[in-house]
Amino acid sequence: MRINKFLAEQGVASRRASDKLIAEGRVTLNGKTAKPGDDVRPTDSVAVDGKLLSHAVSYEYYLLNKPKGCVCTVSDDKGRKTVMDFLPAGAGRVFPVGRLDYETEGLLILTNDGDLAYRLTAPQSEIPKTYLVRIEGTIGDALLNRLRAGVEIEKGVVTKKCRISVVKTDKTYTKLQVVLTEGKNREIRRMFEAVGKHIDFLKRLKIGDLTLRGLDRGAVRKLSREEVYYLKNL
């Protein structure tokens, strides 16, 4: 098993974040500094910052209705609240799957199952994620069609086609539902900025058909066995 996958399964961090830990020299394999691409066997010893990891894994899966005003990281060097602060006492070493930015709220999964985390965030999976967006003022069909077709959010970076429908509108604001099958950094905010529209509220409502039904803002619960099976087979 590749070492970044091993670290993800231990709940240390996502595969990408684990690659960073390895690059920083904070991971050892059998007492030597680990390298990207190293394989871990059942008899190997792996440590992060000197703390030895067990090969035994017990997977945990949580669903959080993330409020705004917290970051999707395991820790924060600026002292801000993180999504980990909402987990119940006794929760294992899990990490957030993907990110919602500081001001964005809604559905977030936390787990130590590296394979599931990779599946849910890998671009090639094209798993639909549904958001509620509120923008200032109104928006016409021409701009909506531009957004649906894909817009350039930075030089050479164009978003994939997406589904957008108007939920409610008046002269001061418009609510829309946006369904994406990719997850670039701050993608929805940057999409609307690209067409001159400012988002003042953003919430993720669904991943596939998994919703926040019955879960208050800031509340967290364990995923059911059926929900985990569903996510693994999306």
Domain match, 216 and 117 both? yes
Res 146: pLDDT: 97
Domain match, 112 and 143 both? no
Domain match, 144 and 196 both? yes
Domain match, 155 and 197 both? yes
Q: What is the CATH number of the domain that holds 75?
A: 3.30.70.580
Q: What is the CATH number of the domain that holds 166?
A: 3.30.2350.10
Q: Which structure tokens are listed for 60?
A: 């945990």
Do 85 and 110 touch, CB atoms closer than 8 A? Answer: no
Over its C-alpha atoms, the chain yields an Rg (Å, rounded) of 19
Domain match, 138 and 186 both? yes
Give the start-end residues of each E strand in 71-148: 95-96, 105-111, 129-136
Q: How far apart are CA 128 and CA 107, in angstroms?
A: 13
Domain match, 119 and 135 both? no
Domain match, 47 and 87 both? no
Domain match, 29 and 141 both? no
Domain match, 48 and 79 both? no
- One digit per residue, the tens of pLDDT, for the chain of length 234 reads 899 989 887 878 878 889 999 999 999 999 999 999 999 998 999 999 999 988 877 889 999 999 999 999 988 889 999 999 999 998 888 999 999 999 999 999 999 888 899 899 988 899 999 999 999 999 999 999 999 999 999 999 999 999 999 999 998 999 999 999 998 889 999 999 999 999 999 999 999 999 999 999 999 999 999 999 999 998
Domain match, 147 and 173 both? yes
Domain match, 214 and 185 both? no
What CA–CA distances, in Å, run from 218 to 36, 66, 78, 106, 167? 36, 5, 21, 9, 25
Do 57 and 10 touch, CB atoms closer than 8 A? Answer: yes
Catalytic residues: 101
The whole domain housing 27 covers: 3-52
**Torsion (CA) 104, 110, 114, 119 in degrees, nearest 10:** -50
pTM: 0.79
Q: How far apart are CA 10 and CA 144, in angstroms?
A: 43
Domain match, 134 and 106 both? no
Which of 53, 97, 64 minimizes the C-alpha distance to 215?
64
Res 153: pLDDT: 94
Q: How many domains does the chain have?
A: 3
Q: What is the CATH number of the domain that holds 18?
A: 3.10.290.10
